[in-house]
Amino acid sequence: MVLEKPMPVETNPLIKEELPTPTISKREVLIEVKTCGICRTDLHIVEGELPPKKLPLVPGHQVVGIVREVGDSVTRLNVGEKVGLTWLYYTCNKCSFCRKGLENLCTNAQFTGYSVDGGYAEYVKSLEDFTFKLPSTYSDVELAPLLCAGVIGFRALRMCKLKEGEKLGLYGFGSSAHLVLQIARHLGLSVYVFTRSQKRQELALELGAEWVGKPTDNPETKLNASIIFAPVGWIVLEALKNLERSGRLILAGIYMSPIPSIDYSLIYYERTIKSVANCTRKDITDLLKIAEKVKLRVNVQVFKLEEANEALKTLKIKGFKGSGVLVIK
């Protein structure tokens, strides 16, 4: 499914095309795609809210598939293995950020389904060092959301720096948040979920939320940290109102609408606001390890590859109850 030009999803901008099977270099692998997660970042790319890096483009960066070919220099992966490909396609290992262990901030990074073709396709190629062996305890449709929604949420949760017994707020309750809630409960945190959707509120309670309400509601307790998943700037002010002294507010999206003017009293008492940018390979391996322990319940809404436009419309208009996933074959 190819994006020729960014346009509103209502215009069906993704076009089904026959493309040549990618050819691989000595350090690359060819993956036969089984499933690919549908991320809000895909929507931002398709509609042009993120400026294009490559056109035409095959979107998709939560890829689960089988290795079908390996390059001559590949030693860690074998034909027939189940692997995953994430948003982080390549980092240079040379810039100041890479040298400091912050490869997620690499100034020369490339991203799957954005600067290179991604997983809304039957085949995709990837670099061995950025391809991950996947556990057998999850199905292909369950694994896909872990590779972006799961790992970005996990990185955001670690940035909260919470201790057992402390209180976490989650604003927006979609693909990332429903996984983060389960990990947070495993770590002994109390979780407060803010979402307008009654169905998502019900799901949050099923998964162990302490409290649910709308983004403008007051849970009548102060939270030690909160994560905003909804790409809506005004929620920042609402989240700050519920934050404890020295509390941390993490913005987990790659895109957000403008944030209104913030009264200084909302960030006084050493409250902090920090964004999440991409992920590291260590984030991915650590998330996959904890996923084995927690046995995450991954709520999935499945679409066929040729239904990619409809899937993105669903995400834009009403969202998924959990995660959306394309099944390629």
Plot region of 321 (φ>0 → left; ψ -120 to 50 → alpha; else → beta): beta
Burial of 44 (0-12, 13-18, 19+ CB in 10 A): middle
Pair 63, 19 in one domain: yes
Pair 155, 141 in one domain: no
Residue 322 has a pLDDT of 87
Residue 162 lies in a domain: yes
Name the residue type at position 64: V
Q: Long-range contact list for 191-196, CB < 8 A, 24+ apart? A: 191/167, 192/167, 192/168, 192/219, 192/221, 192/223, 192/242, 193/169, 194/169, 194/170, 194/235, 194/238, 194/239, 195/171
- Domain tally, the chain: 2
Percent of the chain with pLDDT over 70: 100
Residue 321 has a pLDDT of 84
Pair 17, 60 in one domain: yes
Pair 13, 139 in one domain: yes
Report pLDDT digits (tens) over 7-26.
999 999 999 999 999 999 99
The closest alpha carbon to 301, from 265, 325, 279, 318, belongs to: 325
Q: Full-prediction pTM beyond 0.85?
A: yes
Report pLDDT digits (tens) over 250-291.
999 999 999 999 999 999 999 999 999 999 999 999 999 999
Over range 208-221, report the average pLDDT: 97
- Average pLDDT in the chain: 96
Are 217 and 193 within 8 A, CB to CB?
Answer: no
Pair 231, 185 in one domain: yes
At 29, the pLDDT band (50, 70, 90 cuts) reads very high
Q: Long-range contact list for 195-199, CB < 8 A, 24+ apart? A: 195/171, 197/173, 197/319, 199/321
Residue 282 lies in a domain: no
Backbone φ and ψ for 27, nearest 5 degrees, come out as: -105, 10
Residues 6+ apart with CB under 8 A from 243: 169, 222, 223, 225, 226, 249, 271
Residue with tokens 């002994």: 188
Dist. CA 25–CA 28, nearest whole Å: 5
Q: Please say if the pLDDT value at position 92 is more than 90.
A: yes
Pair 7, 134 in one domain: yes
Pair 19, 124 in one domain: yes
Domain containing residue 59: 2-145+298-327
Q: Please say if the pLDDT value at position 90 is more than 90.
A: yes
Pair 265, 226 in one domain: yes
Over range 43-68, report the average pLDDT: 97
Report pLDDT digits (tens) over 99-152.
999 999 999 999 999 999 999 999 999 999 999 999 999 999 999 999 999 999
Dist. CA 143–CA 149, nearest whole Å: 10
Residue 211 lies in a domain: yes
Pair 95, 8 in one domain: yes
Report pLDDT digits (tens) over 155-189.
999 999 999 999 999 999 999 999 999 999 999 99
Pair 164, 265 in one domain: yes
Dist. CA 311–CA 309, nearest whole Å: 5
Q: Please say if the pLDDT value at position 329 is more than 90.
A: no
Percent of the chain with pLDDT over 90: 98
- Return the CATH number at 303: 3.90.180.10
Residue 94 has a pLDDT of 97
Pair 33, 108 in one domain: yes
Pair 6, 97 in one domain: yes
Residue 56: is the preceding peptide bond cis (ω within 30°)?
Answer: yes
Residue 288 lies in a domain: no
Dist. CA 176–CA 235, nearest whole Å: 17
- Return the CATH number at 176: 3.40.50.720
Residue 102 has a pLDDT of 97
Residue 237 lies in a domain: yes
3-state secondary structure the chain: CEECCCCCHHHCCEECCCCCCCCCCCCEEEEEEEEEEECHHHHHHHCCCCCCCCCCECCCCCEEEEEEEECCCCCCCCCCCEEEECCEEECCCCCHHHHCCCHHHCCCCEEECCCECCCCCCEEEEEHHHEEECCCCCCHHHHHHHHHHHHHHHHHHHHHCCCCCCEEEEECCCHHHHHHHHHHHHCCCEEEEECCCHHHHHHHHHCCCCEEECCCCCCCCCEEEEEECCCCCCHHHHHHHCEEEEEEEEECCCCCCCCCCCCHHHHCCCCEEEECCCCCHHHHHHHHHHHHHHCCCCCEEEEEHHHHHHHHHHHHHCCCCCEEEEECC
Residue 10 lies in a domain: yes
Residue 289 lies in a domain: no
Over range 220-247, report the average pLDDT: 97
Residue 195 lies in a domain: yes
Residue 129 has a pLDDT of 97
